[in-house]
A and B are shown apart, each in its own frame.
Chain A
């Protein structure tokens, strides 16, 4: 505690003098009595003129006084700006220089760093301050204290790496009257010049270095492996174990999946795998390390790289034996990063809804397949065909240009021409912007018949002008023909990276991107960029596009921040970290950690606490004046008592449940009305005796259940007498009863109509109670129990259902309509047991027996014979609840036996 006080300091200590006012406040509060309670009182006339024996004002209670004084003391101390913790010491008198790393790796813990900056600036008081940000390029100038605070507040981490040597050069150009005191707030990441930078700063003046305890993590580009993403994360240094999460995030910021990322002690890299089905994989917009909040911990994904389902059909059969000669092998390899490639026949691939269909060396698409392919293309599919030996014999009509029969050989013994190179792609081609490597040569190809459309349909040509790739739009889809094989047999194109790029653009075509957009992709304009904390935002108009051919080599910088570049739908991602990058820790002697020097301002906490006390005081004042009847001491005491008694109540309920679980028992709903409950209990006891005597079911003593609290699932049947005094159900009880009925329980509602009122029907109190209580329940459709209902046959054969009274209607869940064609069955039952049975004959009263087993009521009008029928109905009811529609199966037994005999 003493240690805590020694760390306490005040920003404005003179405000503490306000505490001297407290005694005055105490005196004022003491003499001002609280407002009296106001009570409206009808017999006031009798009170008037009564002598008020004690008119001295009541004192403010001591605890209220204490509360108010504490609130005032808290507010006063809050205004004195108390600080907890050691602020960094800023000694000396010269100018102050803050060198702040604000590259992407500084984003982690930026708030903490701002706190340290604020502490330093507070310590600087009136000394001039220069702020140098390593990821900025503003010239260094000396600021007074206020301007420095503003400048520091505006400082934010940038989404690119800082350049420390450039910052040192800027600092060296500035001139200081006296040697400045320098603080370097580093991000703890080595950029190769850390030592040099330190030396450069030390030359200018005394240097203090801060480093973060845990430096930033970085995420490398993901590797797609067909089932999800393989991720690798980096950290500077390898000290200690560290665990965090990586997540795949969708386009709208939703988390699609995540996986733990564990750095073992001694490892600078950690791997994780996020498994996602293809559809979800395609919705992934970015991968990020959770909780890192830095642009370097984010990997944006190309949206042109949405994975498509591509189908490959090849005519060749030698695929398995000589993979390096087969077309399928090269296509699969080239498509793997962007598409899920499937092999199969044309019809089953179309049925599997591929979006791009590759036909390698299939001359003619046969029979009904031709129609299917045509429909596939006109509906928006992309058909990509590769030439091959079979196509030299002629092709069907599903090609973009008419073809000449026979191939053209180049550079062979029979040829007069050298192997041809690729020409630059035409401006109208979707391949525009791709660079044709000079080493790609074509030795054999299929030629197109010259024609008027040939020039516009050619997407790629050889250097002598003959078309290499032709395409034609057909309906909403495209037919594209490579005039060479998909394997390196005819050219070296399948071995080059260009092949992959071309296929990628064709896949983008299938994503609905217009061919014209693809053609303009010679330069990629920024669409959205990341800020230093890794949040996406729209790109500002000042950012320059990147030439497509340079994109792969582009480094992230202030000119090209990380983000998505290209056209809508075919966006390429520019990320900070590339696959070969690594992070190193900044290892300098004498560095201090941020957490050690940061202090906590207590002002907001004290203010909040003081305001809370004042609110409490207002509540207390209301209570004292009688405006909070709910807060009477008595009810508080009662609540406390209930809380104390609660565990015992729970225990009691457990024993009830255990009793119920060990034996099948009859149960009734406790209404809380002693007379009704006693009859229910006596009734079920009497019914239990009858069941014991006549059936193989021997129930134990009945149990009363409270639907508001008890677990109902242990009882096959609940008897529920209605009484107008019963309370409505709470929502919890309603859902519990709904569950009970849905899961196969049966509730017998007894409206006791003639017991409660003179006539049956809607005006009867029992009937009204039933309607009131079941108002919130989801009852099934009901119908009167018919003469062939299984309830009439479950044990005894019954025609009516008397209880204490006779007559009335018995209702149960509506049965499915009787089978019209079949012969009439003697008993009908639905699937399972009716969840509710409703009647009004006051059965419990008829069943009820006293302790010596004598009946307790006289059934009207039938007397003892009616009691017997009532007991028979009770037995049928219990059998029905226990065995369900078993009797309806029994009536089919002769027919079943007959069938078995045959």
Chain B
């Protein structure tokens, strides 16, 4: 890859990591008035950089660094959300290539907050981080019944499923959903998360993976592809 291409990928990566969405974004102050992830991605594509390279060499490494910083408590949820917004602005240019089949996703990740639970911030954070690592996200929202998860899995064969819960009462619904999903799709991997969920609970209900933070989920999914 020619140096100019490498440089533009590095710039996109930096913009995503720091949450520099576009030229109008005043943050970070040192980059005020400069092009952001949105413009640089368009520029990269126009210059002939492949969407796959933008994803693999700019967006995924940036979101990975963001996830690692979050795990180490160097940044907090707001900065993670800012980075995700910058990534999304870049993805607006990449998504058409997914639709045309020119660029491949790593897989499909179906996610939802379990039946009876209306909390969605944790779920949204995990969705964004996983999307940033190259997966297609099917977000079923909150208060998701087991039947709705089943329908989504049937519609997206080979997908991985993530279930979120924030209440001890809805952890029971998580257990029921995992049980039914595992019976119906034994080979399918299921990730669980949420404040009251633990590694022990994950094992007990027969789910495949638990992580206390989004980066753990991203790293686990990487081992599946």
B is bound to A: no
